[in-house]
Structure 1
């Protein structure tokens, strides 16, 4: 058993028999400082959720509440992206977002206010003989056989995405 930080689930499946898998993210609270000519400088907060499996960044409204869970290591998906890459992706995403809102001659100075490595919960359960997977943050359900295929994954290893 290992202790990990998990994004607090919002949605749960309506069944007693459920399992889960934990998907890795790195969450950043960034503060952007923009200098502007002839105007007051601008400070903005940005929350980046960086997917540590596919290296995508999403913007959030706030830092999502986290919980600590004791879980079996087999329930964790292995992150394929390190901290430096995740931080770079968060900075790129923050600059793109900030530059669309502020006119400045300079790139912003960026400060990391808070950062956490956390996992997103995906519930796995069965309904009417079909295995389903549910995103615990938006409640969307997907057929597991549609994701991995009828005979399971054909590609094994870290380079299969």
Structure 2
């Protein structure tokens, strides 16, 4: 029997009803960073970070995405390879490295995770010129180059 799970899917302009989809796990975090400055108040920076829960890579994001719950068969979910705790540690390491590079500081900045959510990015299959393509539901696909 199929095991149906409710997961958070990043909002997409595509209609996913009735499509064969695959869901890729990500951890989205929103952090507050206090960058120390000599003889002044610390600089406060807010940043969103996306951690790929399969490869374990963290990257700065331009926003914290909107998401919505979706009931999906658990066989369509790609399993996470790293834990949430390791993902948060990778996020903090990335933010420290970024702050040191951007603001030329040597003291470790204070990092506070304000919000975190495990979300899935949906991919769906479509037919194009007798080929079955996997389409990213957030970015889409450019068919003119194929």
TM-score interval for Structure 1 and Structure 2 normalised by the shorter chain: 0.7 to 0.9
The reply to whether residue 58 of structure 1 matches residue 83 of structure 2 is no
TM-score (norm 2): 0.87
Q: 2:9 aligns with which of 6, 11, 36?
A: 6
> Matched residue of 1:120: which SS?
strand
C-alpha deviation, 1:140, in angstroms: 3.0
TM-score (norm 1): 0.79
Whether the aligned pair in 2 keeps the contact of 1:22 and 1:120 (CA below 8 Å) is yes
Cα-to-partner distance string for 1:65-90 (whole Å, 9 max, x where unaligned): 01100001111000001011111111
Gaps of 5+ in 1: 143-161
Gaps of 5+ in 2: none
C-alpha deviation, 1:12, in angstroms: 6.3
Large movers: runs of 4+ above 3 Å: 10-13
Whether the aligned pair in 1 keeps the contact of 2:99 and 2:105 (CA below 8 Å) is no
